[in-house]
Structure 1
Amino acid sequence: MKYLIDNIVAFDDKNGLLENKKSGTSVVLSTTAIRILSFLLKNQGVVLSRDEFFETVWDAYGQEASNNSLNQYLSVLRKAFRNVGLEHEIIITVPKQGFLIKVNVDYDEEDVSTLSEQNFTYVKPEPEPLDTTTSPDDVEITEETRFLDDSGSNEIPKQNSPVFDKKYYFLNAFLGLIFIFTIIFVFQYWPSTSRVIPTVQLHSIGKVDSCPVFSLYESSEEMTQAKMNIARGMILEHKLPCIPNAIYIFQPDDMFVYNQMGRVMLSRCTARKNDPLHGLAGCKDIYIYEK
Structure 2
Amino acid sequence: MASPWIASLLAIFVWWFSTGAILLAVRRADQIGGHSWLIVKWLPLLAFGVAAVTVSLPDASVFGAYLGFAGALAIWGWIELSFLAGVITGPVKAPCLPGLSGRDRFFRAFGTVAYHELAIVIGLWGIVAAADGAVNRMAVATYLVLFLARIFAKLNLYFGVPRINTEFVPTQLRHLKSYFRRGPATLAFPAAITALTALLAVCAERLWTAQSEAGTVGFALLTALAALALLEHWLMVVPLPDAKLWRWMLPAPKTTLPNED
TM-score, with normalisation over the residues of structure 1? 0.23
Structure that is richer in helix per residue: 2
Larger Rg: 1
TM-score, with normalisation over the residues of structure 2? 0.25
- Which structure is richer in relative contact order (CA contacts within 8 A, separation 6 or more)? 2
